Amino acid sequence: MEPLSNKRKLIESKPLNFLERAYLPAILSGLAITMKHFFRKPVTISYPEEKREFSENFRGMHSLKRDEDGKERCTACGLCALSCPAEAITMIAAERQHGEEHLYREEKYAAVYEINMLRCIFCGLCEEACPKEAIYLDGDIVPADYLRKDFIYGKDKLVEAPLNQ
Amino acid sequence: MGLADIIIKFILIVIIFAISLVIAMYSTYAERKVAAFFQDRIGPNRAGPWGILQPLADGGKMFLKEEIIPTNASMFLFIVGPSLAILTACIGSAVIPWGQKLTIGSHVVDLQVTDINVGILYIFGVVSLGVYGVMIGGWASNNKYSLLGAIRAASQNISYEISMGLSIIALLLVTGTLSLRQIAEQQTGWHWNVVYQPLGFLIFIICAFAETNRTPFDLPECETELVGGYHTEYSSMKLGFYLFAEYINMFISSAVMATLYFGGYNMPFMHHFGFSENLVTILGVVFLFIKIFAFIFFFMWVRWTIPRFRYDQLMDLGWKILIPLSIANIVITGIVITLLK
């Protein structure tokens, strides 16, 4: 049959000559190869002490952003929850009261904002959906924990630290 | 033999016993470190600085593990197996000359537990006994994998003991003595036996790999086919004894190889610097241990380089290649010695 691609490679299977059958030269060259590796720098990254650098578009833990005056940007529009394919985001909206203008940028804000980190697939669609540039997946890897309920992150863990701190 | 001599011998025995146990212990650590370096990794580094307390942690774990004796196992033999394995591994060191004579005050201490005139035969006998530990343990487990591993171990050891013995016979033609002390004494300076018996040494080292069940001849504990081989059913320190015996065997066979073929405690020009007798002796012990460590490293180096033999290849190599080769070696050695006389 005509070859369909040019990847075909003819394999020669000659009987082994004496040196090859003696097996020792092959062992010696193998030993030389492993010896080369013996002096090579280890590729291991000792994890807790040193961390591998993330790539630029790495998507880690979410953070809810503040604007330049330190007000929360999120207006609880719900587009992130709507766009979330894993249905990991829930929120409860509330109206901004008098005297809270320094806390929230718009008249409506998220009183409760929860992300279930066990459901989240870190796809970044919430980030893309957000019209207020309020949510970004720019954090670290989500740390391990013991209980499922502890993986539901509320605003205490998600909102950025205030500016003056 | 006076009381002082007996006490000195006793101390010597305890020291050698302790050294071989410590070396076996740290061989496990060294093996993991060496394996890591060969694979571009770091290896154990959590227990203590550079992980040097790792063997203690391993040992502690072994002792604290639950001890399981299978219901259908033969209880007595199940315990005898690992005991025999570690016993035969430990008594091999009795005839190895660790150094020349050390003079402390008026006492002359011979750095060898006992210089029997059939030292090589003793080592050979002990090594052959070692397979009983594996065989009994594997059979007593009442498990097909253990039994297969034990049968493999037995047939492998028997096959390779023949060519090992034949390669030693060629060595004996050269040395003319069976005493390890005299063989070591004959190799002062550069008169190492490996120069006169290169083929014999090659056969011997291959057989040593097979006798200690190290890769590429580790079929008795071949994980891919036999779960754990002969120690599949073992747990706790009984498993530890099997693993430990392997490393002691490696240490002893390295010592035997260093003594038989690489001059033992001799080093070129050792007597030309005008050091005192005791210093020369101590240097000799250091040299011997350097050689032993080199051999242990070689064992590990080979382990992380060569894949395991298939069972029929193993038997082919043993019966069809090594035995004819070693017989040819004897014949050639005999002819050469006769012509030179």
Distances (CA, A) of B332 to B274, B303, B325: 40, 32, 10
Maximum Cα interatomic distance, chain B, rounded to a whole number of Å: 66
What ipTM was assigned to the predicted interfaces of this complex?
0.77
Is the CB of A38 less than 8 angstroms away from the CB of B302? Answer: no
Q: Please give the structure tokens belonging to residue A142.
A: 């989500």
Is B46 an 8 Å CB contact of chain A?
A: no
Of the partner residues A30, A43, A44, the one whose CB lies closest to the CB of residue B305: A30
CA pair distance B178, B189, nearest whole angstrom: 20
Is the whole-model pTM more than 0.90?
no
Helix or strand (DSSP H, E) at A110: strand A108-116
Per the structure, how many domains does chain A have?
A: 1
CA pair distance B126, B148, nearest whole angstrom: 23
Closest residue, chain A, to B44 (C-alpha): A46
- CA atoms lying within 13 Å on the CB side of residue A164: 4
Q: What's B263's DSSP letter?
A: -
Is A19 inside a domain boundary? no
pLDDT, residue B263, reads 80
**Closest to B64 in 3D by CA, of B75, B56, B73, B72:** B56
Query: Is B208 in contact with B167 (CB distance < 8 Å)?
Result: no
Could you tell me if residue A20 is left (phi over 0), alpha (psi between -120 and 50 degrees) or otherwise beta? alpha
Is A43 inside a domain boundary? no
CA pair distance A69, B187, nearest whole angstrom: 87
Is the CB of B305 less than 8 angstroms away from the CB of A44? Answer: no
Of the partner residues A31, A42, A46, the one whose CB lies closest to the CB of residue B305: A31
Is the CB of A37 less than 8 angstroms away from the CB of B37? Answer: yes
Task: List the alpha helices (DSSP H) in chain B.
Answer: 3-38, 54-64, 75-91, 119-140, 144-175, 180-186, 193-196, 198-211, 223-226, 236-261, 277-303, 311-315, 323-340
Position B293, amino acid: F
pLDDT over 60 (residue B220): yes
**Domain boundaries, position A122:** 63-158
Is A32 inside a domain boundary? no
The size of the A-B interface in CB pairs under 8 A is 35
Cis peptide before B97 (omega within 30 of 0): no
Is A32 an 8 Å CB contact of chain B?
A: no
For residue A161, the SS3 value is coil
pLDDT over 80 (residue B277): no
pLDDT over 60 (residue A163): yes
Is B302 an 8 Å CB contact of chain A?
A: yes
How does residue B294 score in pLDDT terms, banded at 50, 70 and 90?
Answer: very high
Chain B residues inside the 8 Å CB shell of A34: 38, 301, 304-305
CA pair distance B321, B328, nearest whole angstrom: 11
pLDDT over 60 (residue A150): yes
Is A39 inside a domain boundary? no
Other C-beta atoms lying within 10 Å of the C-beta of residue B190: 11
pLDDT in tens, B112-163: 777 788 888 888 888 888 888 888 888 888 888 888 888 888 888 888 888 8
Chain A residues inside the 8 Å CB shell of B34: 38
How does residue A129 score in pLDDT terms, banded at 50, 70 and 90?
Answer: very high
**Terminal-to-terminal C-alpha distance of chain A:** 75
pLDDT, residue A121, reads 92
Is A12 inside a domain boundary? no
Is B18 an 8 Å CB contact of chain A?
A: no
- Cβ neighbours for B150, distance < 8 A, ≥ 6 positions apart: B134, B135, B136, B137, B138, B139, B220, B230
Is A94 inside a domain boundary? yes
pLDDT, residue A45, reads 87
Is A164 an 8 Å CB contact of chain B?
A: no
Is B313 an 8 Å CB contact of chain A?
A: no
pLDDT, residue A88, reads 92
Q: What CATH number does the domain containing A134 carry? A: 3.30.70.3270
CA pair distance B78, B137, nearest whole angstrom: 5
pLDDT over 60 (residue A165): no
Is A29 inside a domain boundary? no
Is A109 inside a domain boundary? yes
Concatenate the DSSP letters of all residues of B103-156 into one string.
Answer: EETTEEEESSS---TTHHHHHHHHHHHHHHHHHHHHHHTT-HHHHHHHHHHHHH
